[in-house]
Structure 1
Amino acid sequence: MSQSRFTTRHMATAGIIAAVYAALTLLLPIPQYGGIQFRVAEAMTVLPFFFPEAIPGLAVGCFLANLLGSPFVLDWVFGTLATLLAALWTSRLKNRYLAPVPPVVCNAVIVGAEIAWFSVQDGAAFWPAFGLNFVTVGLGEAGVCFVLGLPLLHWVSQNKALCRRAVKS
C-alpha cells in the first residue's frame, strides 16, 4: 500500500474481496475442490499486483470458502495458505503479465501435496499422486489465472476509478 497504515477504505476493499471470493467459490456449480479444480475466484489472486489490501481479503475469502465448502481441516489451513502466499508473492511482482504465476505455483505445490496426502497419506504412493495432482491443480489454476485473471488486471488498469488507486502500471 502506498500508505503505511491500513485504512477503513482498505478494510472495506478487503471485506468486499473476501465476500466475492467466498461467494464465487461456494455458489458456482463447477469443480472447486479435489484434484481437478477450476476455482473462478482464484482469478482474483492477481489483484494484489495493484492492491495490497487484497491480500487479507483473499486469505479470509479462501478460508471462509474452504471452511464452508470442505470438510477437511487441512484444506482450511493449507488451501488458505496457498492463496495467501500467492497473494503476497503477486504483490511484489513488477510485471503484470507474471501476476498469474504465483497462484499457479503455490496452488500446484501446496494444494497438489494436500490432495495427494488425502488420497494416499504417505509412503511411496505419495509422490506419483503428488505429481498427478500438481499437474491437474496447476492446469486448472493456470486456466483461471491466465484466462480470467490477466483480463481482470487489464480491466482494472483501464478503469478510471480504480486506476487512480493502482500502485503499478
Structure 2
Amino acid sequence: MKKTNFLVQAGMIGAVYVVLTILFAPYSYGPIQVRVSESLTVLPMFMPAAIPGLFVGCIIANIVGGNGLVDIVFGSMATLLAAYLTYKMPKKWLAPLPPVVVNGIVVGFILNYLYGAPLIITMGWVTLGQLIACYGIGYPLILTLEKYRDKIFPRS
C-alpha cells in the first residue's frame, strides 16, 4: 500500500508539473522564462514522492518544449538535484532556494548554449524567473500546505 501511495503521489505531481508547464508555455520556455510549475519544487519538503514526480514531469515538459536532448537531460537532472536538496532543507524558508540556485546555474548554461546569449545574462534571467516561481508562488504554497498539513498529509 505504501509503495502504491508513493507511485500515485509521484505520478500526480509529475502530471500537474507537465500540465502547468504546457498551460503557461509562453512563459515556460525560451531565454527568458518563469516556469510556474517550478513552484511545485517545494513539495519534497512534505513528501519524498515529489522528487521522482518532479523529475519525470520535467522530462516530459522538456520533451514537449522542443529545446532538444541537452534540455531534456540536463534540465531534468537539475530539477532532480534541486528536488532532492529541497527535501534536505532544514528550514521552510530555505526550501525554495535549491531550485533557484541549481536551475539558475544549470538552465543558465543550457540557455547560453542553445541561444548564444551571454552566460551571466541567461543565469540572471533564469534565477529571476526561479525566484518568482519558487518564492513568489512556492513559498505561499508551503505556508498553505503547512497550515493544513495534518489533513493533507496524514501520518500512516
Moved over 3 A (4+): none
Larger helix fraction of residues: 2
Is residue 54 of structure 1 aligned with residue 50 of structure 2? yes
Is residue 150 of structure 1 aligned with residue 139 of structure 2? yes
RMSD: 1.8
1:124 corresponds in structure 2 to: none
2:130 corresponds in structure 1 to: 141
User: What is the aligned length?
Assistant: 155
1:130 corresponds in structure 2 to: 119
- Does the CA-based 8 Å contact 2:31-2:115 persist in structure 1? no
1:70 corresponds in structure 2 to: 66
Specify every segment of 5 or more residues in structure 2 that has no aligned partner in the other structure, as ranges. none
- TM-score using structure 1 length: 0.86
Code of the residue aligned with 2:89 in structure 1: it is L
Is residue 94 of structure 1 aligned with residue 83 of structure 2? no
- TM-score using structure 2 length: 0.93
- Does the CA-based 8 Å contact 1:30-1:38 persist in structure 2? no
1:161 corresponds in structure 2 to: 151
Distance 1:95 1:134, change over 3 A: same
- Does the CA-based 8 Å contact 1:100-1:149 persist in structure 2? yes
Name which one, 1 or 2, has greater alpha-carbon Rg: 1
Specify every segment of 5 or more residues in structure 1 that has no aligned partner in the other structure, as ranges. 121-127
Q: Percent identity of the aligned residues?
A: 41
**Residue 7 of structure 1: SS of its match in structure 2?**
helix
